[in-house]
Every structure is written in C-alpha cells, then in structure tokens.
Chains A and B, each alone.
Chain A
C-alpha cells in the first residue's frame, strides 16, 4: 500500500495539468515501514524527451542521483516515480514495463484535456513480465 497525502496528490495533478499535452514526471520520496509506504515529499523533474514528450518521458541518471541525494539528506528513500498519461489511461504501457525495475512505486495518472482524472500506482513483478497494482491510500492533509 502507498499512502499519499492530499497535498501531494494536488501537486502531482497541477504538474500534469501544467505540462499537458506533454507528459510530466517526478520522484516520490518517502519511507517504507512495516510494508506500508508513505510519500513524504515530491521532486518534480523535467521530462527530457524533447523528441516525443506527448507520449514518452525520460529522467536522466543524473536526476536519479539528485533524487537519491535529496531523499538521503532528509533521512528518507527514493521510493518511486510519478508520470502523467495525457489523454491515456492510468495503466502502464508496454514501454513502461520494458523500462522499469521492481520495488519502485510507479504512480501513473490520466490527464484528460487538462483535467486530472484517475491516479493509480503500480509495481513491476520480480520476473519483469507484468505489473501488480499497488493500492493507494489517499490521506487528508499534509505529509503523514
């Protein structure tokens, strides 16, 4: 289960709406305790796919290292990533699957004509064959 406070949901929605019709992306910083993950901070990042930003996103390894440092500095972990699917369902694509690792939480959210819609989280199986949906617990208020 992934716990996400309403304030972070709103920040992710705003990012997706602002960057529409392009895909937006960012890092999820937080902690895992007793099997429950909690998002404690976001790091919005720049989609580096200038050639095809409407249906692809890319975060460089340098930005991944930056996100890891940000998380570590706060005593947290880099627990996953978020990205938008403009005018497309909040389900992982085949391209998503090919470029994923297990363990990370991958939040995908649908932005339809600048309106935020469904948000879901996914984790890749150990054998890389498919994703399992990770339930999101939407928490009111701030970080915890």
Chain B
C-alpha cells in the first residue's frame, strides 16, 4: 500500500531534499524501513545504534501519535500520511540538587 512519509525539514538534506517520500508498506515499521533503505543517511538520525527509534523521534499516522496506537506495528492504509516529528530535549546536565545545597 502506498503511503506518504513527510520528511521533517532538518532531515530533508538526507532524503534528496524531498518534502515527502512515497513508500509501499503495511505498517509504520515497514514504511520507515523502506524509507531508510532508500536513504541510508536518514537512519542514524531516526534510530539509535541499537536499532530502536530514538527517544525523541515521534511518529504520527494521519495526526495520530503511534504511541497511542500499536507503536511501530501500527497498520497503515493506502493513502495514509506518516509524519516524523521530534520532541526537543537537552539541558546542562549539571545536577540541580548540587546547586541547591
């Protein structure tokens, strides 16, 4: 089934500068696998070295967060749109408890 994957702006440079890529897939996992097979440089920004989706990478199917569906096993239908959206995290890493003493 053909589904559209929207490529987030920061990662378009690794996907032939395309805003979206059409892939054939029955699940989110298959769609992302197809995407990263076509565009290998995308993989390190989506997956950890252990092959899991990075903790800050969120995937939506037609505006539904897959965390509340069947995660990467979520089925996709012909014409669905998959969006990849980061959450942004970071910080100094210096323990606040130390400073508050």
A55-B96, A99-B56 are contacts. A23–B86 as well, Cβ < 8 Å? Answer: no
Q: Would you give the shortest CB distance from A70 to chain B, in whole angstroms?
A: 14
Report if B91 contacts A (CB, 8 A): yes
CB-based nearest B residue for A91: B92
Interface residues of A in 33-88 (CB under 8 A from B): 49, 52-61, 64-65, 77-78, 81, 83, 85-88
Sorting the interface of chain B by its residue count into under 10, 10 to 19, 20 to 34 or 35 or more gives: 20 to 34
Which among A53, A61, A92 is the interface contact of B85 at CB below 8 angstroms?
Answer: A61
User: Cβ of A10: which chain B residues have Cβ within 8 Å of it?
Assistant: none
The distance in angstroms between the C-alpha atoms of A102 and B55, with both chains bound, is 16
| Residue among A52, A53, A61 making CB contact with B86, cutoff 8 Å | A61
| Chain B interface main SS type | mixed
Is B89 within 8 A of A58, CB to CB? yes
Given that A52-B96, A87-B99, A126-B41 are contacting pairs, would A59 and B10 also be in contact in the complex, using a CB cutoff of 8 Å? no
- Asked whether, in the complex, the Cβ of B91 is within 8 Å of the Cβ of A57, the reply is yes
A104 / chain B contacts, CB cutoff of 8 Å: 10
* A85 CA to B13 CA, complexed, in Å: 30
**Cβ A99 vs Cβ B89 within 8 A:** yes
Question: What 10 pairs across the A-B complex have the smallest Cβ distances?
Answer: A54-B96, A103-B10, A56-B91, A88-B92, A96-B90, A59-B88, A93-B93, A61-B58, A85-B92, A99-B89
Q: What are 18 A-B residue pairs whose CB atoms fall within 8 Å in the complex?
A: A23-B92, A55-B91, A55-B92, A55-B93, A56-B93, A57-B88, A60-B87, A83-B90, A87-B92, A88-B94, A95-B93, A96-B91, A96-B93, A99-B56, A101-B11, A102-B10, A102-B13, A103-B11
A: which residues have CB within 8 A of B?
21, 23, 25, 49, 52-61, 64-65, 77-78, 81, 83, 85-88, 92-96, 99-104, 106, 126-128
